[in-house]
Amino acid sequence: MSDQIDVHKVARLGALAVSDDEVAAVGQKLNAILGLFDQLAAINTDGVEPMAHPLDQVQRLREDVVTETDIHEYVQQIAPKVEAGLYLVPKVIE
Amino acid sequence: MNFHQMTMVQLAEQLRNKSVSSVELTQYFLDRMAQFDGQINSYITQTPDLALAQAAVADARRAAGEDGLLLGMPLAHKDIFCTKDVITTCASKMLANFKAPYNATVVEKLNAAGMVTLGKVNMDEFAMGSTTENSAFGVTRNPWSLDAVPGGSSGGSAAALAAGLAPVATGTDTGGSIRQPAAFCGVTGIKPTYGSVSRYGMIAYASSLDQGGPMAKTAEDCAHLLSAMAGFDERDSTCAEGARPDYVAGLNDSVKGLRIGLPKEYFGEGLSAEVKAATMAVAAELEKQGAVLVEVSLPNTSAAMPAYYVIAPAEASSNLSRYDGVRFGHRCDNPKDLKDMYTRSRSEGFGAEVKRRIMVGAYVLSAGYYDAYYLKAQRVRRLIKQDFVNAFDQCDVILGPVAPTPAWKLGEKTADPTAMYLADIYTIPVNLAGLPAIALPAGFSGGLPVGVQLIGNYFSEPKLLNVAHQYQQATQHHIQMPAAFA
Amino acid sequence: MTWETVIGLEVHAQLATNTKIFSAASTAFGAMPNTQACLVDLGMPGVLPVLNKGVVDMAIRFGLAVGATVAEKSVFARKNYFYPDLPKGYQISQFELPVVLGGQITIEVDGKKKVINLTRAHLEEDAGKSLHEDFEGYSGIDLNRAGTPLLEIVSEPDLRSPAEAVAYAKKLHELVQYLGICDGNMQEGSFRVDANVSVHRPGAPFGTRAEIKNVNSFKFLERAIMFEVERQIDVIEAGGQVVQETRLYDAAKDETRSMRSKEEAMDYRYFPCPDLLPLIITPAMIEAVKADMPELPDAKRARFMSQYGLNDYDAMVLTNSREIADYYEAVVAATGGKDAKIAANWVMGELNARLNNDNLSISESPVDAQRMAGLIARILDQTISGKIAKDVFDAMWTSQDSADAIIESKGLKQITDPVAIAAMVRGVIDQFPEQLAQYKGGRDKLFGFFVGEVMKATKGKANPGQVNQILKDELAK
């Protein structure tokens, strides 16, 4: 089951850079981790529902009432780059 | 007075009878931190100004007639809990300068109880690790042996407690991160039932597994701290509704007739002789007090580790996508374009283990692998929960080791992540099932503490705390301190 | 050879809640940048989402309105990708288990009715906005819109022409406003339409589809699809192949163009959001929404015909929007339910013309339903004629006065005294002996001339019906 991991692909999905000289070492560790997962395939889970949450709870609903206030000046103190109330990022090209 | 040798309940009595003020007690611990933390590096951020200000307020509240076991009590917060206007790093370079704009619900509740924040303690980056070696702010050392790991990820909490640099601390446990460092450092810590303690403001690693909890010298201290930490929070959809049980009232109940399950899968290959012996000694002591030992089986135990290392990285890879250098946190210098900003900010900001888990998580969720890995792991997760449900038909609590061995040497397992993961086999199933479990000191081996854990059914924390307390009433392991810090 | 076109629409309707889908921040449009982005919307470390009940109620309302299945259990998932307007690096959406399944919308094109099937409707959060004004090579990010609730309504590929697509989109647009779940403002992006378009030869399987985004009016929707159909046919006829891709509609150039191709296909890695639990919709919740459900357009149209005796066309026009229908019913009610047809004529005629002329919506009308009813009451009780009423209406448009006050101050009250009218009629006849002679000689058309002269003499205030009758009598003498 454990294919060799495509390091460049998973790095791209995670928005991480892996340089060419790191690829082999990173890939070797990732593949070792994937190797641990092989035993999952051996377990019979026929008819077993996937379990996403430990408790059988259901989603609680919040009343549709505004309680939040304008905090932009405060929270933008910790932002890397802001101007005119906007978060600045390198130009978005579509 | 040697306040650092006292339990929190004893310190509370000192505050209550005015033998010491909160400001004095706080200063005592601040002095110890200044004196000793250089040796173990348990704190990332010390907050003396905040602490003394909070202590003064607590003293004023007490002078005004207020009473409360936690009023004026110093504590250390794992640096995963957001503390308003205080740097909250999660032990990551990514958040090295992150002044949290709000308090975690846990912090808010403990502040309201009058507790005093001594500082923020070290951990594995984003709680990913079992040794506190994955911290951007240096490793934390085990006070019992400075070349040993303190465990992780709440290693700073455990080490600070063991060294007497805080009376109590908060921790979080996603795969054993409260219990394993507690065991390695000879302190007590409880991972509550998932949903007992609000996760709001507790920086997420793996949302369906993360749970905050108290760490202290004793089960009794944990019971008091948990009483203040737990409770419904409307800001956390996964937080259980309704009142929490009384964690303190039953501490002195007898364990007579208690059925203690010993899962045979926890005593097989891989468990060191000394940990096995310590665990059996705990069983013998409880049996002596009237408990009944029964063998139970948790047949899917060996599948828990791979299931966990699929599910936790999957959730983590998504949870950590918000660290993009836009609204907070590290941004690389002079990004040449958007993609460059993302990849360089994240690559510079995250450490190796975090990056590994992000990539593993992305992989197991990606097209073509989702069913075989993620969905399969979710199915296995249900089997593991069912194992416990079945076991609790036959016993009231389960007793087992926390880790296969006592603390290992710094650097011993850093080169091989899979060896590190294997050390989590006894703690992980509890998180997958969402159950409560308490780790408590059970003796020593080669000068290093050995811990055991008691696992309970959902919301049975009062029972776990009761059993642990009864054990600690009859034993002395939990009040030992390493000589260098005694 | 001919081509067949296949179209499916994905409509993103912003739900008209007070707060965001997962936070208690306001959703009001037009605030200063980032003033409505709270910690949750900003994706701060440690924050968590809690679902808004209003969002769920609106989704149920929509499901009931289109005859869909409201899912007993639906699940929120994370769609993972990096983009600056997406603060968490994932969008919380519904993937495998959406809240609404199936349903139908009936459209009418060229007098023919057609049922369009819906695939699903699911809840998700909107993203923020990138502002591309030049901040020295940087874009500015405003996260006010981040977390605004969206209902994404996906149709089956049942549409076969641009006209059908527009009819469907308009019907949906009307419906969501009727339901009060979306303000329908396309300019502000409250109602956004993406179109999946493909072409194939009759009898052949469906062609490869392209998705057209960025369409913000019905006119552009039609044009974008028309352009895209032509483009695809040209590609195929030139021996090429249509590629599955996302294309942006450029209204200025009236063309669609490929979005900058992604380096590799997107892999969104959907998985259930661990911060949210399954959404369980109980029968009690559905009943509560049902009890609160507004009347739907088709039902209202039928009722207008039976209750007010309107014809199909009038009923359709008056139920075109909930505001117009409500206005009309308020007018009818205020006039005591008498002669609903006159009220209909006034709402569709004078009022509508003035609103169009002044580019106002009915909710902005200077003459509200109460004042309109006051005017119609005076027509009904013959205080004024329909013609005078138009003058009164003009005066009402630019003042706050009631019809009665205007009639009084301008002395417009209709003359209905038969004796007085007869006297005036005789006066007019005496004034025009020549015309009288011609009329008597057989020029019947001169009757109208005499009516006009009588009305002129009474400044239009004489009751026209009485004038007709009395004139006829007098001329016959």
A24-54: per-residue pLDDT in tens?
999 999 999 999 999 999 999 999 999 999 9
Residue C386 has a pLDDT of 83
User: Phi-psi region for residue B266, left (φ > 0), alpha (ψ -120 to 50) or beta?
Assistant: alpha
Chain A residues with CB-CB distance to C277 below 8 A:
53, 57-60
In sequence order, the 6+-apart residues with CB closer than 8 A to the CB of C96 are C75, C77, C270
Name the residue ranges covered by the structural domains of chain A. 1-42
Question: Please, what is the angle between helix C403-410 and helix C386-397, to 10°?
Answer: 110
Query: Environment class of residue C357 by beta-carbon count within 10 Å: exposed (0-12), middle (13-18) or buried (19+)?
Result: exposed
> Nearest chain B Cα to A27, which residue?
B356
Residue C21 and residue C147 in contact, taking contact as beta carbons nearer than 8 Å: yes
Chain C residues with CB-CB distance to B125 below 8 A:
none
Q: What's domain B3-259+438-485's superfamily in CATH?
A: Amidase signature (AS) domain (3.90.1300.10)
Query: Environment class of residue C101 by beta-carbon count within 10 Å: exposed (0-12), middle (13-18) or buried (19+)?
Result: middle
Q: Which two tokens stand for residue C406?
A: 């205007």
User: Phi-psi region for residue C173, left (φ > 0), alpha (ψ -120 to 50) or beta?
Assistant: alpha
- Please give the interface size between A and B, counted as residue pairs whose CB atoms are below 8 Å apart: 178
Q: What whole-number distance in Å separates Cα of residue B140 and Cα of residue B128? A: 15
Question: Is a pLDDT exceeding 80 seen at residue B83?
Answer: yes
The SS3 assignment for C280 reads: strand
> Nearest chain C Cα to B321, which residue?
C89
> Where are the alpha helices (H) located in C297-364, listed in sequence order?
297-308, 312-318, 322-334, 340-346, 352-358
Instruction: Look at the block and give the residue holding tokens 């990096």.
Output: C82
> Where are the alpha helices (H) located in B90-218, listed in sequence order?
105-112, 155-162, 179-185
Q: What is the pLDDT of residues B245-286, one digit of tens each?
A: 999 999 999 999 999 999 999 999 899 999 999 999 999 999
Closest CA to B86 of B66, B105, B107, B67: B107
Q: What whole-number distance in Å separates Cα of residue C176 and Cα of residue C173? A: 6
Residue B216 and residue B248 in contact, taking contact as beta carbons nearer than 8 Å: no
Q: What whole-number distance in Å separates Cα of residue B63 and Cα of residue B21? A: 10
Rounded mean pLDDT of chain C?
92
Q: What whole-number distance in Å separates Cα of residue C141 and Cα of residue C130? A: 5
Q: What whole-number distance in Å separates Cα of residue C28 and Cα of residue C190? A: 11
Asked if A68 is an interface residue toward chain C (Cβ–Cβ < 8 A), one would say: yes
Q: How far is the alpha carbon of A54 from chain C, nearest alpha carbon, in Å?
A: 10
Using CA atoms of B22, B26, B28, B29 in order, give the dihedral in degrees to the nearest 10.
140
- Which one-letter amino acid corresponds to residue C412? L
Question: Is a pLDDT exceeding 90 seen at residue B348?
Answer: yes
Residue C231 and residue C266 in contact, taking contact as beta carbons nearer than 8 Å: no
Q: How many CB atoms lie within 10 A of CB B66?
A: 12
Q: What is the pLDDT of residues C306-340, one digit of tens each?
A: 999 999 899 989 998 888 999 999 999 988 877 88
What residues of B are annotated to the active site? 78, 153, 177
Chain C residues with CB-CB distance to A15 below 8 A:
82, 89
Question: Is a pLDDT exceeding 90 seen at residue C266?
Answer: no
The most distant pair of C-alpha atoms in chain C lies apart, rounded to whole Å, by: 99
Residue B446 phi, psi (nearest 5): 60, 35
Question: Is a pLDDT exceeding 60 seen at residue C102?
Answer: yes
Residue B161 and residue B217 in contact, taking contact as beta carbons nearer than 8 Å: yes
DSSP string, C171-218: HHHHHHHHTTS----TTTTSEEEEEEEEEE-TTSPP---EEEEEE-SH
Q: In sequence order, what are the beta bridge partners of C5?
A: C199
Question: Is a pLDDT exceeding 60 seen at residue C189?
Answer: yes
Cross-chain CB nearest to C141 (options A65, A66, A87)? A87
- Cβ-defined contact of A89 to C36 (cutoff 8 Å): no
Q: What whole-number distance in Å separates Cα of residue C104 and Cα of residue B372? A: 36
Residue C11 phi, psi (nearest 5): -110, 130
Average pLDDT (C397-409) is 89
Q: What is the pLDDT of residues B465-485, one digit of tens each?
A: 999 999 999 999 999 999 999
- Cβ-defined contact of C48 to B234 (cutoff 8 Å): no
Q: What is the pLDDT of residues C275-317, one digit of tens each?
A: 999 999 999 999 999 999 988 888 899 999 999 999 989 998 9
pLDDT band at A1 (very low <50, low <70, confident <90, very high): very low
- Please give the interface size between B and C, counted as residue pairs whose CB atoms are below 8 Å apart: 100
The SS3 assignment for B53 reads: helix
Residue C320 has a pLDDT of 84
Query: Environment class of residue C290 by beta-carbon count within 10 Å: exposed (0-12), middle (13-18) or buried (19+)?
Result: exposed
pLDDT band at C1 (very low <50, low <70, confident <90, very high): low
Q: What whole-number distance in Å separates Cα of residue B459 and Cα of residue B462? A: 8
- Cβ-defined contact of C52 to A64 (cutoff 8 Å): yes
Q: What whole-number distance in Å separates Cα of residue C182 and Cα of residue C159? A: 23
Question: Is a pLDDT exceeding 50 seen at residue A68?
Answer: yes
Chain C residues with CB-CB distance to B102 below 8 A:
39, 44
- Cβ-defined contact of B458 to A15 (cutoff 8 Å): no
- Cβ-defined contact of B382 to A11 (cutoff 8 Å): no
Question: Is a pLDDT exceeding 80 seen at residue C131?
Answer: yes
pLDDT band at C412 (very low <50, low <70, confident <90, very high): confident
CB hemisphere CA count around C457 (13 angstroms): 19
Q: What is the pLDDT of residues B195-242, one digit of tens each?
A: 999 999 999 999 999 999 999 999 999 999 999 999 999 999 999 999
Residue B303 and residue B378 in contact, taking contact as beta carbons nearer than 8 Å: no
Residue C133 has a pLDDT of 74
Cross-chain CB nearest to C46 (options B201, B324, B365)? B201
- Cβ-defined contact of B194 to A54 (cutoff 8 Å): yes
Asked if A61 is an interface residue toward chain C (Cβ–Cβ < 8 A), one would say: yes
Q: Among residues 12-41 of chain A, which lie with CB inside 8 Å of chain B?
A: 13-17, 26, 29-30, 32-41
CA distances from C440 to B285, C451, C472 (A): 131, 16, 12
- Which one-letter amino acid corresponds to residue B262? L
Q: What whole-number distance in Å separates Cα of residue C307 and Cα of residue C297? A: 15
Which one of B363, B381, B413, B420 makes the best mutation probe of the A interface by having the most chain A beta carbons within 10 Å? Answer: B363
Residue C265 has a pLDDT of 64
Name the residue ranges covered by the structural domains of chain C. 4-285, 295-410, 418-476
Q: What is the pLDDT of residues B112-127, one digit of tens each?
A: 999 999 999 999 999 9
Chain A residues with CB-CB distance to C42 below 8 A:
75
In sequence order, the 6+-apart residues with CB closer than 8 A to the CB of A87 are A76, A79, A81, B326, B327, C34, C84, C140, C141, C143
**Neighbouring chains to B with at least 3 Cβ pairs closer than 8 Å:** A, C
β-strand pairing of C100-101 with B212-216:
unpaired
Q: How far is the alpha carbon of C48 from chain B, nearest alpha carbon, in Å?
A: 6
The most distant pair of C-alpha atoms in chain B lies apart, rounded to whole Å, by: 70
CA distances from B471 to B44, B168, B225, B478 (A): 33, 20, 19, 10
User: ω before B366 within 30° of 0 (cis)?
Assistant: no
Q: What is the pLDDT of residues B138-189, one digit of tens each?
A: 999 999 999 999 999 999 999 999 999 999 999 999 999 999 999 999 999 9
Residue C323 has a pLDDT of 87
> Nearest chain C Cα to B342, which residue?
C82
Q: Which two tokens stand for residue B478?
A: 């939990």
Q: What whole-number distance in Å separates Cα of residue C271 and Cα of residue B370? A: 9
Query: Environment class of residue C465 by beta-carbon count within 10 Å: exposed (0-12), middle (13-18) or buried (19+)?
Result: exposed
b/e burial code for range B27-59 (CB count within 10 A of at least 16 → b): bbbbebbeebbeebbbbbbbbbebbbebbbbbb
- Cβ-defined contact of C271 to B318 (cutoff 8 Å): yes
**Neighbouring chains to A with at least 3 Cβ pairs closer than 8 Å:** B, C
Q: What is the pLDDT of residues C215-238, one digit of tens each?
A: 889 999 999 999 999 999 999 999
**By mean pLDDT, which of A3-12, B403-412, B472-481, C98-107 is the weakest?**
A3-12
pLDDT band at A3 (very low <50, low <70, confident <90, very high): low
Residue B237 and residue C277 in contact, taking contact as beta carbons nearer than 8 Å: yes
Rounded mean pLDDT of chain B?
97
Asked if B204 is an interface residue toward chain C (Cβ–Cβ < 8 A), one would say: yes
CA distances from C421 to C413, C429, C431, C457 (A): 14, 12, 15, 10
Q: Chain centroid to CA B304: how far? A: 19
pLDDT band at C411 (very low <50, low <70, confident <90, very high): confident
Q: What whole-number distance in Å separates Cα of residue C323 and Cα of residue B117? A: 58
CA distances from A13 to A9, A32, C345 (A): 6, 20, 62
Residue C129 phi, psi (nearest 5): -130, 140
Query: Environment class of residue A60 by beta-carbon count within 10 Å: exposed (0-12), middle (13-18) or buried (19+)?
Result: middle
Asked if A42 is an interface residue toward chain C (Cβ–Cβ < 8 A), one would say: no
CA distances from C261 to A65, A86, B161, C62, C242 (A): 41, 28, 55, 35, 15
Q: How many CB atoms lie within 10 A of CB B475?
A: 16
- % of chain B surpassing 70 pLDDT: 100
Asked if A89 is an interface residue toward chain B (Cβ–Cβ < 8 A), one would say: yes
> Nearest chain C Cα to B236, which residue?
C48
CATH number for domain C418-476, candidates 1.10.10.410, 3.40.50.720, 3.40.50.1220, 1.10.1040.10: 1.10.10.410
Chain A residues with CB-CB distance to B233 below 8 A:
none
- Which one-letter amino acid corresponds to residue B296? V
